[in-house]
Amino acid sequence: MKNKVSGGLSNMDAGNRLTALSLLLSAVLSPGLCIISPAEIDPLLYEEQLLWVSGAQGQVNTYRIPLLTFTPEGSLLAFAEGRKSSASDVGAKFIAVRRSTDKGATWSPTSFIIDDGLQPDGLNLGSVVVDEEVGSVILIYSICFHQYLCSPSSTMMVESTDDGLSWSPPRNLTEQLGAKIFVAGPGFGIQKRYSPAKGRLVVCGHGTIEGDGVFCILSDDHGRNWYNGAALKSIPYNQKKKPQDFNPDECQPVEMKDGSIVINVRNQNNYHCRCRVVVRSYDGGLSLPIDNLFFDYALVDPVVAAGALQKDGVLYFTNPSNDQHRINLTLRWSLTNGTSWENKAVQIWAGPSGYSCITSLDSGSPEDRKYIFVIYEKGHKDYDETVSFAKIHLYGGR
């Protein structure tokens, strides 16, 4: 905690000096109680490391679609698709995982937790959701999402109850959800921490081609049973789209402190603006009324999956901040629940950059309050060259 002092102490009156002294003393005597205010947020890229490099690791051609989450035990888990033979969205893939138990300083070697074999249209990520009430981590992914030389499309789930070390066999959720062309996220799902529907798991994603839109699947029993919740359908629904049609696509939900869920959405056909669509659910993900939808002109976007996080009352957002190209990966933050954004955005990477996902640790310790973590697609010529992990010090810039 630093006071800005211009011209030295001589300009300060006795009252100010006393305040400065007591602030200094309280900071020195009880660092654990020194809560930095959100107004002092001034993020600094603190350290960064590449978790995956495309083309350089054996059986994988391209790593894409990075997800990042905290775990109930305070570890970090990073996931990505390991695309076996090309950079294409279709084709056979692994789900790659790395794990950090020291707040992102070091990472386990890559393990492949799912291998879809030789499928022409294999798996797609996906959302990771942490159930803090029972201490589990759930990963939702799809098989045959594009229905390229395969059918039907399936929504699948795997679960870890040991902090991401081992994973259950895949479960096919088609029986519970019905036949559905759906891919979650990509990003994280949430467990509701506040009412309504405290404890509910909410995973939102999108449909495909004609049947696109934002759809949420919900579970009120820690992932045993899933059912279909809110739908925000594209227009015209189930019909071929034209440029500038309303076509909400990949999305990231976050829970706000009033218990509402704000979903930040990819605006696939640039309806109304080259910017993000934002829609809000006040009933725990059961509905997404059009009355609660707006276009966030400040969040200029090249049509991409973006990252969002609500931490200690501050809303964070990452995307390649450019209306044409996937370059300029930028972190923004809002002190007003997303109704406005601070002017001082922080550039994480100027060059090619694509999908991103944000998380943070939340033990309540002063240390954990200071950092957020961003995983994103990063390259020099193309954004899919590497997947990078960035540790951001929220108060590091001052």
Ligand X SMILES: *[C@@H]1O[C@H](CO)[C@@H](O)[C@H](O)[C@H]1NC(C)=O
Site of interaction with ligand X (CB under 6 A): 143, 152, 154, 172, 174, 256-258, 321-322, 328, 330, 336-337, 345
- We find the least distance from the C-beta atom of residue 338 to ligand X, in angstroms, to be 9
- We find the least distance from the C-beta atom of residue 15 to ligand X, in angstroms, to be 29
Q: What's the rounded Cα separation, in Å, for the pair 128 and 262?
A: 17
Q: Is 63 a catalytic residue?
A: no
- We find the least distance from the C-beta atom of residue 2 to ligand X, in angstroms, to be 25
- We find the least distance from the C-beta atom of residue 311 to ligand X, in angstroms, to be 13
CA nearest neighbour of 354 among 320, 381, 310: 320
Judged by beta carbon, residue 101 or residue 292, the one nearer ligand X is 292
Catalytic, out of 121, 159, 212, 250: 250
Contacts of 73 (CB under 8 A, 6+ apart): 135, 163
Q: Is 250 a catalytic residue?
A: yes
Distance, CA of 17 to chain centre = 44
Judged by beta carbon, residue 104 or residue 122, the one nearer ligand X is 122
Q: Is 355 a catalytic residue?
A: yes
**Mapping DSSP to helix (H, G, I), strand (E, B) and coil, where does residue 31 land?**
helix
CA distances from 235 to 213, 246, 279 (A): 9, 5, 16
Judged by beta carbon, residue 152 or residue 366, the one nearer ligand X is 152
Look up residue 198 and give its two tokens: 């405290």
Strand partners, 310: 315
CA nearest neighbour of 267 among 284, 246, 286: 246
In this structure, the strands spanning 171-172 and 154-160 are antiparallel
Catalytic, out of 63, 271, 355, 376: 355
Contact 203, 189 (CB under 8 A): yes
CB closest to ligand X, residue no: 258
Judged by beta carbon, residue 36 or residue 256, the one nearer ligand X is 256
135: left (phi over 0), alpha (psi -120 to 50) or beta: left
Judged by beta carbon, residue 51 or residue 346, the one nearer ligand X is 346
Catalytic, out of 42, 46, 48, 89: 89
- We find the least distance from the C-beta atom of residue 350 to ligand X, in angstroms, to be 7
Q: What's the rounded Cα separation, in Å, for the pair 16 and 22?
A: 10
Catalytic, out of 212, 255, 377, 384: 377
Residues labelled catalytic = 89, 250, 355, 377
